[in-house]
Structure 1
């Protein structure tokens, strides 16, 4: 068994990458992060400048590591066909050279309607989009690598959101960053339930999973929050202390007009099928292993997210809230339990 407690996070400046660095630190790991741009603050992390497309950069950064978190994606959904799989191949090569486990934060894009509405770890993967096909191929390459001695862990999640999330439906569709929330724009019928994954909780779950004995190729589902428009709107109203936030339909017609000029919008439109059929992740396997579901109370997660998006002002000083932690807060920030 690998005894090193050093982990490499590829894409440490991204939403899941940043949270993975912090979660692994909390669990006693020495953390390195491979990034194109080294931040000013180190925060105890060993930042390494490099490019995930350059195999030598990845091999050098991964030397002596036990875990490699593959948290890198092309920004704005651009160039998936040419970048995603080569970057993963470099991570697999680095893991093989060091006997490390690859951790992939996954999505539900690799599933199609034949697997809906409840996704289990062994549900069939027949994606209806090119991006989904690439996601499925990523998992297939990790499975093949595991048969050649490279261990892998996949944590599949719903739509990401959080204070530092990148491209995501919550921060780019439901609300407008940098502005107080007056209207919540929902991309489906109001009764449609959708799976949401709070990034700090996803990272905490990865760190907790790594504390357990895992199969050489293992996959878990992160259930997160299962909400319709009414529940999401009510939670945003509580988080912002504004009870009159309106609920409106997302203007899909507007994205149709702009999509020919914006690749991000084109890709979002291709994922519209996930807003037409409820899709839920079965997290029974995860809960059985961990003994609990490490999900932060919804109001608290939304408050942190909206503050990170610049949609609300945070008054006073708050101690950092660890993902999954339930604690009493000052009255002004009391969490409404559901």
Structure 2
């Protein structure tokens, strides 16, 4: 039984070089968190030039090229996989990207810390999702995620690779932008005093995971020995609905409540006929049509990492949007 399944960890830490594959919102924040812990950090990105702390190395390499990834991760003690291909390209691109990360970790003799999501669980059917929830995906992207996750589980269980799998619910937070279900496309209209369009039923309870909490969880698990296994990122445990979360944004903006409009699934499917991304979103709309709650209590109990309250996270997300908007004006 792994330390993760027991809910306990050993006190010694994993030092050395930490290589972060991916420089999006999570990867950039992860570099910040690792640097704050005193780790040596190298970020690998194909083209972006993220704002990184002093002392963090930036290497340009194509994550789709296994040889390039192996070279970029040379000397690593820990490889963090936070890659995120285009939503409509998951089936084609995601498994090879993970294979490259695995190859890089093996070549370096490193631990692999891999970011995952909760699509592989399928519909909650009234259950709060935990690390022990069965894998019952019914959507294509969920099945992709299941295959990828179970491949890593086999490598760990067979003793071939030290693997930590970190799972998050739907992201929100600074830098998440349009990729978040409650990101720029929802918050920008609210900031302008206009109604915002949201997915599904906004009055259903829904767990959102704060991007900086994802980074903190990965940094902590990557620098603590004995954490091999599956962990959920801690989330605000209150079963707030999407409407209640966005009401927090409205109040931070000085309004009493959020004006919301809903996009029905049939409309998403119709849009999907001409927009591939909308077709992919429609496939996952079930998450927003029923209670969708995800617990990260195990990690809090094991390492003391607590979730950022929605009030604080939403305020920081709105402030980040307003700063970026001001720069463009």
TM-score range, shorter-chain basis? 0.7 to 0.9
1:264 aligns with 2:263: no
> What is the rounded CA distance, in whole Å, between the counterparts of 1:116 and 1:86 in structure 2?
34
Task: Name the structure with the higher helix share.
Answer: 2
Tell me: CA distance 1:145–1:83, structure 2 relative to 1, closer, same or farther (3 Å): same
d(CA) in 2 for partners of 1:245, 1:7: 41
Once the two structures are TM-superposed, the CA of residue 274 in structure 1 deviates from its matched residue by: 0.9
Candidates 74, 81, 91, aligned match of 1:81: 91
Deviation at 1:193, TM superposition (A): 0.3
Where in structure 2 are the equivalents of 1:1-338 lying within 5 Å? 4-12=15-23, 14-39=24-49, 42-43=52-53, 44-75=55-86, 77-113=87-123, 116-146=126-156, 147-166=158-177, 167-171=179-183, 174-176=186-188, 180-224=192-236, 226-243=239-256, 245-250=258-263, 252-293=265-306, 295-310=307-322
Deviations 1:52-99 (A, max 9, x none): 111111111111111111111113x03212210011011111111122
CA distance in 1, matches of 2:124, 2:308: 31
Taking a change above 3 Å as real, the CA distance of residues 49 and 140 of structure 1, as seen in their structure-2 partners, is: same
Change (3 A) 1:63 1:177: farther
List alignment gaps of at least 5 residues for structure 2.
Answer: 1-11
Distance 1:223 1:42, change over 3 A: closer
Kept in 1: contact 2:79–2:112 (CA 8 A): yes
With normalisation by structure 1, the TM-score equals: 0.83
Partner SS, residue 182 of structure 2: helix
Deviations 1:104-161, CA, capped at 9 Å, x for gaps: 2221111123665211212110101111111111111111222242111112111101
Query: Which structure has more RCO (C-alpha within 8 Å, separation ≥ 6)?
Result: 2
Structure 2 CA distance, aligned partners of 1:89 and 1:29?
A: 25
* Partner SS, residue 133 of structure 2: coil
After superposition, the CA RMSD in angstroms is 2.7
After superposition, the Cα gap between the structure-2 partners of 1:313 and 1:298, relative to the gap in structure 1 and judged at 3 Å, is farther
The residue matched to 2:19 in structure 1 has which SS? strand
Contact 1:121 1:221 in 2 (8 A): no
